[in-house]
Amino acid sequence: MALSDAIWFRQKAEEHNNLFRHSIPLIASENLISPITKEMIVSDLNNRYAEGLPGHRYYQGNRIVDEIETRTEQLMKTLFNSKQADVRPISGTNANQALVFALGEPGDKILSPSLDSGAHISSAEFGAVGMRGLKSSHMSFDFNEMKIDVDETRKIILSEKPKITLFGFSVFLFPAPIKELKNDLDEVGSKIWYDGAHVLGLIAGKRFQDPLREGADLITGSTHKTFPGPQHGAILGNTDDETWKKVRRGVFPGVLSNHHLGMMAGLGVTASEMLEFGETYADSVITNAKTLAQELHSLGFNVLAEKSGFTESHTILVDVKGNGGGKYVAETLEANGIILNKNMIPGDSNKKAQDPSGIRIGTQEVTRIGMGRSEMVHVANLIYSALNGKDVREDVRDLKEQFQEVKYCYGKETAYNFLQLYR
């Protein structure tokens, strides 16, 4: 019986592989890892423990792990031009938890975007911020432009005097106004934290914005969204040594023990690949998002933030109330092999999250497999046709079959050639 269970799981994994082999992936929080990164994840590193920091472990057998972690940190510091890097968090939310513990005490004030403006749940009262006991206030948001309202937020900063200010979104369409609000935040003594989970790869590719140069003290991020690495997390800093010590302790022993060593090594590989390919990749991601948004708009879809040019990132937000609502649209497209997610939009505060008015679309994974502007036009038309009653499954399969190879990375042959140099 046990063997049959194992066979069942293997079959299900193969079914899942085939599902995405034949589908167009437009989830804004997912991506594909490179062949060498995949080798890190299935290596013996995946079996081991390494509590603590390099040179100060609680386990033996970590000599090589120490080298890998130190090299990964250095690559991330080089990539982001940062003074500090911690590559131990096992997810973006885990990195956020570490900073909440490091920077705040129960009762401290934190200023962040509100959930209905696209913020992540870790900044909510029922997320990491609230569970730490921080007192939340929210930035003012212009829902027509889908941007933080700088003038009104400045007034809130000077009135609330937050100890921590968090810039970050799950629907991150436009750069955050760090530069514009930096003097006001310095005046009230607020630490500036940037949650770059969704846009970390665009920052690495020198697109979107450069938070550390614009005044952020710390960046947290997921490493598997626009940053095309393993499902892991990272913290980057340009802060003082005492704050960084608190961050390190916030990570361990604060919110984790072992830090998933194969994933951490895979992050190092991805950082190296982003140093080589990141600028071209990030530019293509944003170009594809703008193209897809414009084409959907031309087909009659209510793509939000038209006044601001729809997006400056990988993400597009579409109001689909007139197309049956977010749940219906997402499920209809899924049945046709187009995978995206239903999403809350401005005005949905009284709607259930499982039946919102919008959908969220991301272009980072289709870019990763080599799709460009012409394919974005094709995808927009497939979405339009599917929502007007046409069965487009075969058209989707035909398109996707042409794009089955991960781009903007070192291939297996490259890795093999590198290894031969050291034999």
Query: Which residue carries 């490179």 as its tokens?
Result: 34
Q: How far is CA 205 from the centre of its chain?
A: 14
- Domains of the chain in sequence order: 36-272 (3.40.640.10)
In the prediction, which pLDDT does 411 show? 80
CA–CA gap between residue 309 and residue 261 (Å, rounded): 41
Question: Are 117 and 141 spatial neighbours (Cβ–Cβ below 8 Å)?
Answer: yes
pTM here?
0.94
**Three-state secondary-structure class, residue 341:** strand
Cis link prior to 253 (omega < 30° from 0)? yes
Contacts of 128 (CB under 8 A, 6+ apart): 93, 96, 97, 100, 122
Going by the DSSP 8-state scheme, the letter that residue 387 receives in this structure is T
In the prediction, which pLDDT does 351 show? 80
CA–CA gap between residue 251 and residue 405 (Å, rounded): 35
User: Residue 233 pairs with which residues in a beta bridge?
Assistant: 222
Comparing C-alpha atoms, which of 109, 106, 110 is closest to residue 168? 110
Per-residue pLDDT of the chain (423 residues; tens, 9 = 90+): 688 999 999 999 999 999 999 999 999 999 999 999 999 999 999 999 999 999 999 999 999 999 999 999 999 999 999 999 999 999 999 999 999 999 998 988 989 988 777 777 666 676 667 677 777 889 999 999 999 999 999 999 999 999 999 998 889 999 999 999 999 999 999 999 999 999 999 999 999 999 999 999 999 999 999 999 999 999 999 999 999 999 999 999 999 999 999 999 999 999 999 999 999 999 999 999 999 999 999 999 999 999 999 999 999 999 999 999 999 999 999 999 999 999 999 888 778 889 899 999 999 999 999 999 999 999 999 999 999 999 999 999 999 999 999 999 998 666 555 555 444
CA–CA gap between residue 116 and residue 142 (Å, rounded): 11
CA–CA gap between residue 235 and residue 164 (Å, rounded): 16
CA–CA gap between residue 146 and residue 306 (Å, rounded): 9
Q: How far is CA 307 from the centre of its chain?
A: 25
Q: How deeply is 352 buried, as exposed, middle or buried, from its count of CB atoms within 10 A (0-12, 13-18, 19+)?
A: exposed
- The DSSP-derived string for 61-109 is S-HHHHHHHHHHHHHHHHHHT-SEEE---SSHHHHHHHHHHHH--TT-E
